[in-house]
Amino acid sequence: MSAVSALSERRADFPILSRDFAGRPLVYLDSAATSQKPDVVIDAMSDYYRTSNANVRRGVYGLAAESDRRFEEARASIARLVGADVDGLVVTKNVSEAINLVAYAWGLRNLTEGDEIVVSLMEHHSNIVPWQIVAGLTGAPVRFCPIPPAHLLDMDALRTMIGPRTRVVAITHVSNTLGTINPVDEIAALAHEVGALAVVDGAQSVPHMPVDFGSMGCDVLAFTGHKMLGPTGVGVLVARPDLLASWEPFMGGGEMIGDVTVTGSTWAEAPRRFEAGTPPIAEVIGLGAAAEYLQGIGMQNVRDHEMALTRYALDALTDVPGLTVYGPSDPALRGCPISFAMEGVHPHDIAQFLDSRGVCVRAGHHCTKPLMTELGVTATARASTHVYSDGGDIDALVEGLRGCRTFFGVQ
């Protein structure tokens, strides 16, 4: 239990965790959907609005210069967290927008009929739907790598699928449903052997483990602020600066231009050419504070804490009769999301019963409907942790699941 509670003192940094629900202390186990926010993030955003609020990249007065400085310092903090070049970091509103940016700015202009887009069956819809849209516009089909019963990516099948016609390989680093950690460095190398673009969805990895963009070997990494202790409404696309410089804009508007005349327009240097209009300034500053907070803990410490907590949870859940847990059984091969189903009880009923005990879990298809079809289910329940989680949260979950069986009369 000491290993599981290694970061338990961090709970005091998250004001929402002092709330009660249903007469019980709040047990928040839905961090894969969105994480809670520490005081330093809330305070950074509030302080910006109270003391430094001005638009960026426009004003020459002192307040605007201060806003510019705080915005770019936050960008640098975020880049440091993932070992990225600050000139390769594009501010988006979430992972969905980041991957759409790649699909339209690069894919729409480079894919043609006969080219192939390779993804996996465990992808979030954010890493499926944009490619399907572009496939419909270009004639480049989307091919899905299967998931064997062990719930690890079928690397043998992937090696067979990636060939001369492959132009992009888009893979999640950590599955938001199975928790599976994919070998993205190896996958990126396979993509590059055939000249394909390697795109990684880091929504579930960047908040929970050390991620270094340079050593990953991929071309593009996308992640989102609200899952990494930051605010909603801000996400990140990281790419090689030389790659960004070769792309046309995804959206047009203010502040992404070099010049505009009645005969046409030219573009600003990357990454600004992909940040049309006023960016989410306070949100970027909040995300910068979240990045600093995580770096202060140390991402390996975050990973060690959550791996110990995942091990504790997997062991505890085996004692609940009639429960099927999806994903790898080895905590070293998975992140913190744990999806499960209870025989005789719908996942939505599980979630509502747990809510009556103050326990928050997700229930549904988790934006992974192709994976649900492959698993032969329509939905699962899912528990997921973060730095503020501890063994007591898992104990409350297990107690709630036992109570759920009794309530629904499951034998």
> Over the stretch 285-311, which tens digit does the pLDDT of each residue have?
999 999 999 999 999 999 999 999 999
Alpha-carbon Rg for the chain in angstroms: 22
User: Using 50, 70 and 90 to split pLDDT, how confident is the model at 123?
Assistant: very high
Strand ranges (E), 202-268:
220-224, 235-239, 257-261, 264-267
Q: Decide if pLDDT at 45 tops 80.
A: yes
Looking at residue 411, what is its pLDDT? 67
Q: Do 218 and 237 meet the contact criterion of CB atoms below 8 Å apart? A: no
- pLDDT above 60 (res 4): no
Bridge partner residues of 142 (DSSP):
117
DSSP string of 8-62?
GGGGGG-GGGG-EETTEE-EE-BTTT-----HHHHHHHHHIIIII---TTT--SH
> What is residue 410's predicted lDDT score, i.e. its pLDDT?
87
| pLDDT, position 296 | 97
Nearest to 166 by CA among 79, 237, 107: 107
Catalytic option among 145, 218, 336, 367: 367
- Residue 5 confidence (pLDDT): 58
The reply to whether 367 belongs to the active site is: yes
pLDDT of residue 3: 46
Q: Is 293 helix (H, G, I), strand (E, B) or coil?
A: helix
Report the C-alpha gap between 236 and 213 in whole angstroms: 13
Q: How confident is the model at residue 2 (pLDDT cuts 50, 70, 90)?
A: very low
Q: What is the pLDDT of residues 169-207, one digit of tens each?
A: 999 999 999 999 999 999 999 999 999 999 999 999 999
For residue 1, the model assigns a pLDDT of: 46
The answer, yes or no, to whether residue 267 has pLDDT greater than 60, is: yes
As to burial, measured by CB atoms within 10 angstroms (0-12 exposed, 13-18 middle, 19+ buried), residue 390 is: buried
Evaluate whether 243 touches 219 at the Cβ level (below 8 Å). Answer: yes
pLDDT band of residue 83 (cuts 50, 70, 90) is very high
The pLDDT score that the predictor gives to residue 7 is 76
218-249 pLDDT per residue, tens: 999 999 999 999 999 999 999 999 999 999 99
Q: Which two tokens stand for residue 6?
A: 């290694």
Q: What is the mean pLDDT of the chain?
A: 96
pLDDT tens-digit map of 6-35:
677 899 999 999 999 888 999 999 999 999
Q: What percent of the chain has pLDDT over 70?
A: 98
Alpha carbons 77 and 287: distance in angstroms, whole number: 9
What's this model's pTM, rounded to 2 decimal places? Answer: 0.96
Task: Please give the average per-residue pLDDT across 334-354, as a whole number.
Answer: 97
Q: What token pair was written down for 13?
A: 């940094």
Q: Where are the beta strands (DSSP E) in 84-195?
A: 89-92, 116-120, 142-145, 166-172
Question: In angstroms, how far is CA 69 from the centroid of its own chain?
Answer: 27
